[in-house]
Amino acid sequence: MLSRTAENLYWTARYMERADTTARLLEIGYRMQLMPTADGGYGSEWGSVIAASGTAELFASKYGELAEHNVISFMVFDEANPSSIRSCLTAARNNARAVRTALTTEVWEALNHAYLEFNDLERTPRSQLSLPQICDWTKRQSAVVRGCFSNTQLEDEGFRFFSLGYTVERADNTARLLDVKYYVLLPTIDMVGGGVDNYQWTMLLRALSAHRSYHWTYGGDYTPRNIAHFLILNRAFPRSLIYCVTEAEKELCELAHIHGHRCEATSVAASLLGELAEADISEVVEEGLHEFLSRFVASNAQLGHEIARSYLFGKL
């Protein structure tokens, strides 16, 4: 398979998943600000939402004030923000368009439909759009694309690269979403606990569509330890870090089978997986969740680089 084709498939998946994450981040911010705070005002998570998406500098230079309408313009509609829903949907479609013949009609139509419908959405007066509506719409589009993909796509080499895009991106996103909460609001472990905090953790779980699964797994109690365990080390939860890395490693092994040799990326994924498998949640919390997550985001990015290098992505 041409490296460019593999690369386009990989990035189509990454951008769709990123659009989904941006929607989930916005949802957290939106719910947080509905919550009364002790000083009589309302909470604001917008700063941490922007921080988590890794675009704080761009936002500050372009908009300055952390007001809801600015955040929506920036995170939903702004083409200058590479993580905005608009940018992600456009990039996903452009990548897919370049390799249309490698995708089934269903997958292409789902991607194209999302792109076209967003254009309609953009023309709708903002006063008629609510943020939850936009978030729900985005999550649905991403689900439709993924559904069409797993329902119709031949499980060949291209399938592996597409799936790999999803898992690498999702691991990054879960780590960042988790970091929003911990990094900004709970710099030390001693401060964990209390009603407000529980509510915010719930928010996080809801945004990851993991609210009920958490209860099924751990019963009714929210403890930072259990939540961290769930999002990092639970092998059954499809957004946990260990789940994503396991999947990435599996896809890379499949590729090694297809190509008849293992490449460097496979080894990087295996060692990252090894680290996670040996991790103990108490140690992670003691070490500092933020430090742990930062390290993970870097290792995961390293995996991305290694994939690009191993399969000759990008111009030589």
Partner 1 sequence: MDERFFNEMYLEEQVRPAYAGLTDWLASTPPEQLTQKRAEAETIFRRIGITFAVYGDDDASERLIPFDMMPRVFTDTEWRRLERGVKQRARALNAFLWDIYHRREIIRAGKLPGDLVYRNEAFEPSVIGISPARNVYSHVVGVDLVRTGPDEFFVLEDNCRTPSGVSYMLENREIMMRLFPDLFRTNRILPVDDYPRALRRTLGSVAPAKCDGPPVIAVLTPGIFNSAYYEHSFLADQMGVELVEGQDLFVDGDFVFMRTTRGPQKVDVIYRRIDDAFIDPLCFRADSLLGIPGLMNVYRSGGVQICSAPGAGVADDKAIYTYVPDMIRFYLGEEPILKNVPTWRCSEASDLAHVLDNLKDLVVKEVHGSGGYGMLVGPASTQKEIEDYALRIKADPGDFIAQPTLALSTSPTFVEQGLAPRHVDLRPYCLVGEQVHLTPGGLTRVAMREGSLVVNSSQGGGVKDTWVVAG
Residues at the contact surface with partner 1, assessed by CB under 8 A: 1-4, 6, 97-98, 100-101, 105, 157, 161, 255, 259, 311-312, 315-316
Query: Of 108 and 237, which CB lies nearer to partner 1 in the complex structure?
Result: 108
CB of 94 to partner 1, least distance (A): 9
Q: Which is nearer to partner 1, 2 or 236 (CB)?
A: 2
Q: How far is the CB of 117 from partner 1 (least distance, A)?
A: 18
> Residue 287 is encoded by which pair of tokens?
């070490």
Shortest spacing between CB 141 and partner 1, in angstroms: 21
CA angle 225, 288, 175 (to 5 degrees): 75
Smallest gap from Cβ 243 to partner 1, in A, equals 25
281-287 long-range Cβ contacts below 8 angstroms, 24+ apart: 281/225, 281/228, 281/229, 281/232, 281/233, 282/225, 284/228, 284/232, 285/189, 285/224, 285/225, 285/228, 286/189
For partner 1, give the closer residue by CB, 161 or 166.
161
Q: How far apart, in whole angstroms, are the C-alpha atoms of residue 53 and residue 128?
A: 26
Q: Which is nearer to partner 1, 215 or 305 (CB)?
A: 305
State the nearest-atom distance from the C-beta of 108 to partner 1, in Å: 9
Contact call for residues 170 and 244 (beta carbons, < 8 A): yes
Beta bridge partners of 157: none
What angle (nearest 5°) sits at the alpha carbon of residue 277, between those of residues 273 and 279?
115
3 token code pair: 């490296």
Nearer to partner 1, 98 or 270 (CB): 98
Buried b or exposed e, range 193-205, using 16+ CB within 10 angstroms = eeeebbebbebbb
Cα 243 → chain centroid: 13
**Of 2 and 60, which has the nearer Cβ to partner 1?**
2
Asked if residues 315 and 8 have their Cβ atoms less than 8 Å apart, the reply is no
Tell me the closest approach of the beta carbon of residue 262 to partner 1, in angstroms: 13
Measured from the CB of residue 89, what is the shortest distance to partner 1 in angstroms? 17
b/e map of 262-295 (b: 16 or more CB within 10 Å)?
ebebbebbeebbeebeebebeebbeeebbebbee
| Cβ closest to partner 1, residue 1 vs residue 253 | 1
